[in-house]
């Protein structure tokens, strides 16, 4: 039997019906990006703000439920993932209290991640969400968002079954090209096709345009956080094709 998680309730008025025939198949992770937890909760429950999430997890591990899972919370904004444009209708939104890049981005505390993991397990069980369905806000809105960011422990989540991650055998290909903004080539088309297969909203134009740069940067933020520059160096290129094969 699944353990019952202890959580607080702080109802947000900012939700509506899902109005989608397809089931929930995504969990979208965010950071709050505000100076305090209370500031974030106030905004997420403010009718004029018109934003919300299903859950907020404070840095001490406290879970606050704002919107019932059966309702459509307003957390994704203009977004796209695997052909889905109304990401809110297909997802559960979880906000992790963290000041974000604007106010002093910092690692996510152990207590916070320790609370997140069992919550994800219960959501996964309730909605039968596949491992590939656990993603970040920057993945679905790469030109607008950076959260939950490069300090988020994606590898740890993937080890627990929440998200894709490179296999232990992964090595960069010695034949992988180095691609950069402004290039036009068949290798750029291949890169874009692989990114589209992962889920990013991008077409195979063959031009390494600003959208491609933003998507590569988002990919790096999730899967290669050691350097986030939007440049498809051989390691990044190899990783993109590797993750695409696992998607």
Q: How far apart, in whole angstroms, are the C-alpha atoms of residue 125 and residue 120?
A: 8
Assess contact for 209 and 230: CB atoms under 8 A.
Answer: no
Cα dihedral 141→190→217→129 (10° resolution):
50
- Residue among 242, 230, 222, 223 nearest 171 (CA): 242
Q: How far apart, in whole angstroms, are the C-alpha atoms of residue 117 and residue 35?
A: 24
Catalytic residue chosen out of the listed positions 70, 95, 213, 235: 95
Assess contact for 240 and 194: CB atoms under 8 A.
Answer: yes
203 catalytic, yes or no?
Answer: no
The dihedrals phi and psi of 26, each to the nearest 5 degrees, come to -135, 145
- Residue among 167, 92, 159, 147 nearest 125 (CA): 92
SS3 64: strand
Q: Are strands 134-136 and 55-57 parallel, antiparallel or unpaired?
A: unpaired
Q: How far apart, in whole angstroms, are the C-alpha atoms of residue 100 and residue 114?
A: 20
Q: Which residues are catalytic?
A: 95
């Amino acid at each position: 039997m699944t353990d019952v998680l202890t959580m607080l309730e702080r109802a947000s008025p900012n939700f509506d019906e899902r109005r989608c025939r397809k089931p929930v198949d995504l969990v979208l992770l965010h950071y709050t990006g505000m100076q305090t937890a209370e500031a974030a909760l106030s905004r997420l429950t403010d009718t004029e703000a018109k934003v919300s999430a299903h859950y907020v997890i404070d840095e001490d591990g406290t879970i606050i439920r704002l919107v019932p899972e059966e309702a459509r919370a307003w957390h994704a904004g203009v977004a796209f993932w695997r052909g889905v444009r109304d990401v809110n209708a297909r997802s559960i939104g979880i906000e992790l209290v963290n000041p974000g890049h604007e106010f002093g981005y910092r690692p996510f505390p152990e207590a916070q991640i320790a609370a997140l993991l069992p919550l994800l397990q219960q959501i996964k069980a309730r909605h039968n969400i596949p491992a590939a369905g656990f993603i970040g806000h920057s993945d679905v809105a790469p030109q607008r968002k950076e959260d939950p960011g490069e300090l988020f422990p994606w590898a740890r989540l993937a080890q627990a079954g929440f998200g894709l991650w490179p296999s232990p055998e992964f090595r960069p290909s010695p034949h992988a090209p180095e691609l950069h903004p402004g290039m036009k080539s068949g290798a750029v088309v291949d890169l874009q096709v692989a990114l589209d297969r992962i889920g990013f909203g991008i077409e195979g134009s063959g031009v390494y345009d600003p959208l491609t740069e933003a998507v590569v940067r988002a990919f790096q933020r999730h899967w290669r956080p050691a350097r986030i520059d939007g440049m498809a160096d051989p390691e990044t290129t190899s990783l993109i094709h590797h993750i695409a094969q696992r998607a």
